[in-house]
Amino acid sequence: MKKQLNPNVAIEKVNDHFCVIREDKASQKNVELCFYSLADALSYASERNYG
């Protein structure tokens, strides 16, 4: 499962967690933070104005 928030940030399911993934200019994926629920990940992304 993957929810693209903007061209550089997405929420992806990793094992049993939902992680905010940022892609840098070199197309490297970096895990910013992981949550137990999709609602928490979306709330965090909303607070940070990612999407």
Q: pLDDT tens digits for 11-51? A: 999 999 999 999 988 889 999 999 999 999 999 999 998 87
8-state DSSP, 37: S
Decide if 31 contacts 21 (C-beta within 8 A).
yes
Helix (H) or strand (E) holding 38: helix 38-47
d(C-alpha 49, C-alpha 26), whole Å: 22
Q: Confirm if 45 and 5 have CB atoms less than 8 A apart.
A: yes
pLDDT at residue number 25: 84
Q: What distance in Å separates the CA atoms of residue 7 and residue 26, rounded to the nearest whole number?
A: 13
Write down the pLDDT at residue 18: 97
